[in-house]
Amino acid sequence: MEDVPRKNDKKNNEKQQKTAKQKKKTPLNLINWKWVVTVFFSSLSISIVLSILSSEIMNYVNVLVSVLILLMFIILGVIFDIIGLAVATASEKPFHSMSAQKINAGKKGLQLIKHAEQVSSFCNDVIGDICSVVSGSTAAAIAIKIATAEGSLFWVNLIICGIVSALTVGAKAMGKALGMNYSTEIVTIVAKIMSFFSFKKKKGNKKSKKKNKSNSKNKKEEQEDKSSDPKNGNVQINEDDDLRKQP
């Protein structure tokens, strides 16, 4: 009797070892290929749209407005870089307490933190890198505009591209410090913005549902009125009498 459990133990250990070998993840299995494909096509489409818009706008505006557009792209990239880093480093504890108090921002914050990999890659890699690329192209366009007026393209292009790269790197360094130290505050702000827009959508859906319910109630009342109306019955009786009287 003592040998039976030992044999079973050996079999169980062999099964566990086989399952452990099967569960060993290779680097290729760790990659979420669906997310990689979606990020690839989304970044391709966003970069094409932004580059077309920036190039078309730059042809019709002066140097001052084009500099403001350049600063807008730099600031946008820095903001999304801060959001991505804050979501990646934030803890779930304060958002669990907020969701326990039935605050919508707490639920949205938990969703962001649970999908931190996707959120950080979208914010840092997609939006941040696209904004840096587009800002570089706008800086080159500004340099061409200034060079056509003054006639020295090389030095103008060199100075403007150097200033733009220094601004982006310095602003992102400041943003990373903010994202690391104020991660919960940044995630709560983003979650509040998301919950505000989702609350608006819910309101619109509730209004449409109320309208549909009221319309269905009115139709039912009309049908009941028609069925219960005695005049309709009298009209049908008179018509039957007239048909009988005819030879």
Confidence of residue 234 (pLDDT cuts 50, 70, 90): very low
Residue-wise pLDDT for 41-55, tens only, equals: 888 888 888 888 877
In angstroms, the CA 82 to CA 86 distance is: 6
pTM of the model: 0.66
In angstroms, the CA 216 to CA 219 distance is: 5
Longest dimension (CA), the chain: 110
Q: Averaged over 28-50, what is the pLDDT?
A: 81
